[in-house]
Structure 1
């Protein structure tokens, strides 16, 4: 799956924070998801989490697991630095 996805840098991801561009993206385990249509990510904020970031390390504190991202479209891979 992820081999077919385009790569984006952290800078590209950061601009999709719900403020700078109309898209709202988040990354998890190297995959970037478009959460623009989610009412829970309105304005780029979801509780204490902000869009435009890699949320991998923050997932352990969430009340849900990574399966919640199954309902969002994977649109890219986070370029390794």
Structure 2
């Protein structure tokens, strides 16, 4: 095994919990970049979806009347 892996596996925690101040822990630059990339991707998807929806030209066709069956007693007679 490598020296780093063996040292970390046998040693204690790298940072003592007493040294970590919960008020100073932040996601940092990497967290912000990932969040910004997700937000930008969502914005681009929404923009593209709006463009695709504008392309749709849907006109509802009126219902065609059903042809009555000749044996139907309520069918109008000519």
Could you say which structure has the higher strand fraction?
1
Highest Rg: 1 or 2?
2
Could you say which structure has the higher helix fraction?
2
TM-score range, shorter chain: under 0.3
Q: TM-score normalised to the size of structure 2? A: 0.18
